[in-house]
Amino acid sequence: MFDSADLRRLLENVVGSDNVTDTDSSDDADWTGRFVGEPTLLVRPGSTVEVAEVVAVARRSGVSLVPRGGNTGLVGGSISRGRSILVSTSRLRNTGTIDPLTRQVTVGAGVTLHDIQEQAQSFGLRYPVDFGARGTATIGGTVATNAGGVNVVRYGMTRRQIVGIEAVLGSGETVSHLGGLVKDNTGYDLAGLLCGSEGTLGIVTAVRVQLVPLMPHVVTALVSCDDVATAVDVVASVCSRLDTVDAAELVTADGLALVREQIGLEIAMPNRRIHLLIECSSASEQVDVLSDILDEHQGIDVAVAVTPSQRERLWRIREEQTPSINRLGVPFKFDVTVPLPSLAPFVERIPLAVEKVRPGARTFVFGHAADGNMHVNVVGGDGDEVALTEQVLGEVVACGGSISAEHGIGTAKQPWLHMVRSTSEIDAMRSIKAALDPDGIMNPGVLLP
């Protein structure tokens, strides 16, 4: 706890005493329980002006700031460290009205993914960034991490949805560019830069996003087979023939068994090693087109779901992977991308590679097959944690992959950034940080070594 009553008083003067609270380490952890915060103050500004004043207080007081959205991040970036205070965006929840001409809307950083998705849907539109933490993850957090999710194959990551941003930089300056012009070549793309900056440059307070049409016909195919190479071929052939593929998600038999065991999900599934969910959405019916493409493949079982309840049951298998793994114990998470030609050997090999350095561990692999983005989760076992990380990330880098696909670097992977970014690149990033956050108060310890 800070001994400085002055700091609390200064913050209370900005946001009101109801909006400054003490955290305590017993309940201030990340979603997995791996990263536990140091006791500190949590401050909840209610406007961009208040955020700027909080930043000013921090600069004067020599404390650092840890931005916090929904605290669903998986790399320890929203957890307090050292002499820092948490800045929650929970009160930045203003939502504009959707502009029907541009199909854009400006939302406060604290608005959840679920809320923006609901708002879009009521206009026959869609905000296509989507994943299991939608009820809690915020637009600010998803921008800060450049979140991906299940629809990246069709719509891209968060950065592609952003047409404007407002933020308070570590320097104390507020930048606001929310006009939403799609064509706007007037210098550095600050929205693109802040997207993926993990709270190290400033605090995002509002975002203007582009929405896409909500397609009325949705079909989800369950494709089951015995090896990852077949699954990769199926995804490649569907994606090269259809431009309506929203998602292509891979789950293993072990992951399926875990979900069944953990939540008692009763669902008839073929007894195969690998399962794929391929979802397409379009303006007109396309069950037959998808089925015809899948029929061309040998050695697969196919089941097609069209009703919302059938589809929802299939999606539970995928979305319950993360919560089910957490129920087994605190996992080591590796969110990696490998080039598609290496995807099958990587998925087949990685549990064996883990076993070498962490005997007795259970390894679950699942993820976004079309993007080459796999989530390797390791629970239990014995062995050195650093050796485990170096083993998994070493396999990834050896095949030309990335040590973070969509969750970011955070504190969890910061010591290993050099494996995928050159000294020149890291120096360039440091220069950007020094310019926008000259006192280094924004989320120190995250991303940059």
CB atoms within 10 A of CB 118: 12
Question: Which 406-435 residues touch ligand FAD, going by CB under 6 A?
Answer: 406-407
- By CB under 6 A, residue 441 contacts ligand FAD: no
Cβ atoms of residues 221 and 303 within 8 Å: yes
CB of 320 to ligand FAD, least distance (A): 9
Residue 45 contact, options ligand FAD, ligand 2HG, none, Cβ 5-8 Å cut-off depending on partner type? none
Q: Is the dihedral of CA 17, 18, 23, 29 positive or negative?
A: negative
Cβ atoms of residues 407 and 333 within 8 Å: yes
410, two tokens: 């955070």
126, two tokens: 């869609």
CB atoms within 10 A of CB 315: 18
CB of 63 to ligand FAD, least distance (A): 15
- By CB under 6 A, residue 48 contacts ligand FAD: no
- By CB under 6 A, residue 164 contacts ligand FAD: no
CB of 247 to ligand FAD, least distance (A): 10
Of the residues 131, 155, 332, 346, which one makes contact with ligand 2HG according to CB under 6 A: 131
Whole-Å CA distances, 150 to 134, 154, 172, 376: 12, 9, 35, 16
Of 401, 414, 406, 415, which is closest to residue 447 (Cα–Cα)?
A: 414
CB of 56 to ligand FAD, least distance (A): 17
Residue 375 contact, options ligand 2HG, ligand FAD, none, Cβ 5-8 Å cut-off depending on partner type? ligand 2HG
Residues recorded for the chain = 449
CB of 285 to ligand FAD, least distance (A): 28
Query: For strand 162-169 and strand 202-210, is the pairing parallel, antiparallel, or unpaired?
Result: antiparallel
Of the residues 59, 208, 333, 362, which one makes contact with ligand 2HG according to CB under 6 A: 333
CB of 35 to ligand FAD, least distance (A): 10
C-alpha to C-alpha distance for 317 and 287, rounded to whole angstroms: 21
Question: Which 62-121 residues touch ligand FAD, going by CB under 6 A?
Answer: 66-74, 77-78, 89, 109
Of 238, 251, 258, 279, which is closest to residue 128 (Cα–Cα)?
A: 279
DSSP one-letter code for 172 = S
Of the residues 28, 50, 198, 320, which one makes contact with ligand FAD according to CB under 6 A: 198
- By CB under 6 A, residue 119 contacts ligand 2HG: no
Report the interface residues with ligand 2HG, using CB under 6 A: 131-132, 321-322, 333, 335, 367, 375, 377
